[in-house]
Amino acid sequence: MARDMMTRCQVKRKYKIDGAKEWRWCEVAVTEVREGEDIRCLHCHGNVRVHRQKIETGPQDHVEHKSRDESKSCQGGHSFEGTHRQSAKPVA
């Protein structure tokens, strides 16, 4: 997946499990991310930002690592250098 846009990510959403509400990470398409939601990289759990498609012929909705170092060590990162590692500062 290296050098491709990441069109999927993880979002923290509230679920009702056995009558109790709890937060869980779930995989979603970037197009389904709502403003203000906690998001993280699907691969390394690092901090990412959402980029929305601005014009019809432009790049589709995708996420990008906020840290270039994380992008270098994540298999989904644009700058991936070949050895995948989990984020040093994962979004919890």
Residues near 57 by beta carbon (within 8 Å), at least 6 away in sequence: none
pLDDT digits (tens, 9 = 90+) for 2-21: 346 799 999 999 999 899 99
CA angle 44, 65, 59 (to 5 degrees): 120
Percent of the chain scoring above 70 in pLDDT: 96
Please tell me the distance from the alpha carbon of residue 52 to that of residue 44, in angstroms, as a whole number. Answer: 21
Extents of the domains making up the chain? 8-73
Beta bridge partners of 24: 13
Average pLDDT, the chain: 92
pLDDT of residue 5: 77
Rounded to two decimals, the pTM is: 0.84
Please tell me the distance from the alpha carbon of residue 89 to that of residue 3, in angstroms, as a whole number. Answer: 22
Please tell me the distance from the alpha carbon of residue 5 to that of residue 62, in angstroms, as a whole number. Answer: 6
pLDDT digits (tens, 9 = 90+) for 42-66: 999 999 999 999 999 999 999 999 9
Residue 32 predicted with pLDDT over 50: yes
